A and B are shown apart, each in its own frame.
Chain A
């Protein structure tokens, strides 16, 4: 559906948005693992 895929806000493409949320989720998971270990 190319007409629906246009105009991603802020970044140039949806691929960047996918990358951003996946990287952010990975960083959060890594942070949570270290957070748990640090305070255990």
Chain B
């Protein structure tokens, strides 16, 4: 990186840390530390919800996803808007009415302590590990592309934000997320403008879309039907049905039962402010993701006019090139170079005014892209066989590699800052929520309930610090285990979300079902979901992971009803 890039990067990070510390008004109680004294306006709630969900990987992965797989990833968010309305009608007003700190407190009031503790445990396990991966995932990309030491990058990625998260609690998290999002979105759209600007002479934005469209990258809506016409493909990850149904249950669970999100809208000054924040989040999410994915299509179009790398993770490419497979890699590279040359040659005949390059050339271009994809897959297979530690897919590297190779000085630094800031937004919220669940649902429940306000705040700071250190340790460990863990941990949420949601659904809608029935139902359902997941991973059955949210919730409800109607017929418990 050049000096201007370093200056921009350091300045952006310093501004956020100082702003976070400046906004860290001293909190005198748990209400202040975890809930910002319940005085946040709706627009800050909205930005905080968006900033918590949108991690660095969102901004790195989505354009890469569009580059390789087209725009269909946007369907993942189709169930979200409806889920926001359902939550605003059901759980959100109840959480506010009960003046909760964490979502899991409700489960003790409605069921019993063991159900509350079990769901809190699932949350801490899932969120604790995934926060570590949230530190590691962007770090390894920066480390690979810029040659930074991964351990040091992990410490900076997960460490600096601890300064303001520990001191300022939820208030510092919300205010920094606001500034972070502004910087992130402005930078992303500057980049989009630059991509179009770097296209040859008279090729504009719509021409770039036309190029992407003709190469099949604008396929937003897919039905998931088998290409052979033999019915619905359950293993297809992103289609309109998995997005609407699986995505609906995922969003219900994530926004309704995951403390990292619940903790954001509980800071609102009224139920109404929480609802507006959530509802607007539902309205903006699909268009926002659509625009981020569109940048990936623009990058794809850019690489139709310019030579594209065979593999976007250059560090991994170099390592594989030095193994016993070097001859195979060289042969693939030679073939890929020929494709690149011919593609650039064909695109030189592109005339925006004629709106096309002619049907024959278009067909040839399609074939070239298909051959290019096939060569890329061949390299990925070799990378896997070579045993070199590292990701054998390069989706998350595409956008940043483009930025580093083509963006002007200063902008590269800004985009690296964007990776840090987007990460910090979601990690800070996660640390705050992990600390609140640890203090409210464990420490004050099992260790010491009689704390003064000052002691409450002090112990909360220590828990925030502990989870910050824990996430950095997980990040360092992930590096030793290997990158295949990242993908597994990304699916970790779907392993637990469905079951947790099921417990809340039973709590809210099935008042006659009591604590023991729902507790054992949740335990059995979790085992079932894990079993289905293992079978799916081993190709015994084909099931996209989004469906696990649906099946987990359904399983808890059905088994709880059956248990209550049989084994626990005569049991009694509290009801809210």
Do A29 and B282 have beta carbons less than 8 Å apart? no
Given A1-B508, A14-B89, A39-B221 contact (CB < 8 Å): no
B562 within 8 A of A: no
B346 within 8 A of A: no
B543 within 8 A of A: no
Interface size on B, residues (CB 8 A): 35
Do A36 and B219 have beta carbons less than 8 Å apart? yes
Residues of chain A within 8 A of B212, CB atoms compared: 39
Do A4 and B81 have beta carbons less than 8 Å apart? no
Cα–Cα distance between A18 and B287 once the two chains are bound (Å): 18
Cα–Cα distance between A10 and B280 once the two chains are bound (Å): 11
Chain B: interface secondary structure?
A: helix
B492 to chain A, nearest CB (A): 28
A10 to chain B, nearest CB (A): 7
B216 to chain A, nearest CB (A): 8
Q: Identify which of residues 228-242 in chain B touch chain A, using a CB-to-CB cut-off of 8 Å.
A: 240
Cα–Cα distance between A9 and B210 once the two chains are bound (Å): 41
Do B97 and A4 have beta carbons less than 8 Å apart? yes
Per-residue CB contact flags for chain A residues 6-17 toward chain B (1 = under 8 Å, else 0) read 111110001001
Report which of A4, A24, A32, A36 forms a contact with B89, defined as CB distance below 8 A: A4
B84 within 8 A of A: yes
Do A39 and B209 have beta carbons less than 8 Å apart? yes
Given A21-B81, A32-B221, A36-B219, A9-B272 contact (CB < 8 Å): yes
Residues of chain A within 8 A of B94, CB atoms compared: 1, 4
Residues of chain A within 8 A of B275, CB atoms compared: 7-9
B47 within 8 A of A: no
Cα–Cα distance between A6 and B271 once the two chains are bound (Å): 10
Do A24 and B85 have beta carbons less than 8 Å apart? no
Report which of B209, B221, B279, B508 forms a contact with A17, defined as CB distance below 8 A: B279
Contacts A6-B93, A25-B82, A39-B210 aside, 16 further interface pairs with beta carbons under 8 A come to A3-B97, A7-B272, A7-B275, A9-B279, A10-B279, A14-B85, A17-B85, A21-B85, A21-B282, A22-B82, A29-B221, A32-B221, A33-B220, A35-B218, A36-B71, A39-B209
A-B contact pairs, 15 of them (CB 8 A): A4-B89, A7-B271, A7-B272, A9-B276, A10-B279, A14-B89, A17-B85, A21-B82, A21-B85, A25-B78, A28-B287, A32-B74, A36-B220, A39-B213, A39-B218
